[in-house]
Structure 1
Amino acid sequence: MSALVRPRDGRMIGGVCAALARRFGTSATTMRVIFVLSCLLPGPQFLVYLALWVFLPSEKNASTAW
């Protein structure tokens, strides 16, 4: 499993689903469908998404490394 960071490529809004998909070895589309379906259930899914968006670091760009 790779580190949990929001990737620069493959993100739609915040990159949270893409980060989780990369971490667990599935496609980003699958993770997005799971998230949308989970929003139909009661619970704090949207708040968890926002928290992950804020607290997960963004992937570093390799061309800006010194």
Structure 2
Amino acid sequence: MTFENNTPRTFNRSRSQRMLGGVCGGLGEYFDVDVNLVRAAAVLAAFVTGGTAILLYLALWMLLPE
């Protein structure tokens, strides 16, 4: 196994797959997962964690570059 293209990927907010801040779109693009699944998981996490996931989303929205 060779690693000729071992440039690190960066995690950014998405410009094309955004509904609110682009955080879920960026996660979907980074992990190569359907963005709608990430959004559904974020909504589910918001209910399960009692709102802590919303604070994490807001923090990522403020901290991640676009």
TM-score by length of 2: 0.79
| Stretches (4+) displaced over 6 A | none
- State how many pairs are aligned: 58
Q: Find 2:38's aligned residue among 31, 38, 49.
A: 31
Amino-acid identity (%): 38
Higher relative contact order (CA 8 A, sep 6+): 1
> Letter of the aligned partner of 2:40 in structure 1?
V
Show the 5 A alignment for 1:19-58: 19-43=26-50, 44-58=52-66
Larger radius of gyration: 2
Stretches of structure 1 that go unaligned for 5 or more consecutive residues are 59-66
TM-score by length of 1: 0.79
RMSD: 1.4
Stretches of structure 2 that go unaligned for 5 or more consecutive residues are 1-7
